[in-house]
Amino acid sequence: DAGVIQSPRHEVTEMGQEVTLRCKPISGHNSLFWYRQTMMRGLELLIYFNNNVPIDDSGMPEDRFSAKMPNASFSTLKIQPSEPRDSAVYFCASSLDGPNNQPQHFGDGTRLSIL
């Protein structure tokens, strides 16, 4: 099993630019999660999809953030326009069935730096 695959691993861009983070969940998993980790706030859930449908997006900080899951094997998290305070490590995770019925498997994360 390839595990959860995220790309890119690192992204450095200037403020105002559009940033797109990508995630491929483990095949057969029906739940996908996007998390953000910063020194100040630790790990925070941004959005949770179940069967490609957004279930909980209450963690999405503002309208500059958007996430899509067009099919069971791909999701994107987009920031437009990006700001320096968006600098963080963004993790994608997937599970067989929901956030609390099965363990979550994490990708290696994308380290995002907005200059």
Partner 1 sequence: KNEVEQSPQNLTAQEGEFITINCSYSVGISALHWLQQHPGGGIVSLFMLSSGKKKHGRLIATINIQEKHSSLHITASHPRDSAVYICAAPKVGGSQGNLIFGKGTKLSVKP
Q: Give the binding site for partner 1 (CB under 8 A).
A: 33, 42-45, 48, 50, 55-56, 58-59, 89, 91, 93, 98-106, 108-109, 111
CB nearer partner 1, residue 33 or residue 65:
33
On whether the CB atoms of residues 60 and 44 are closer than 8 A, the answer is no
CB nearer partner 1, residue 59 or residue 68:
59
CB nearer partner 1, residue 9 or residue 80:
9
Nearest to 39 by CA among 82, 76, 85: 85
CA 94, distance to chain mean position in Å, is 10
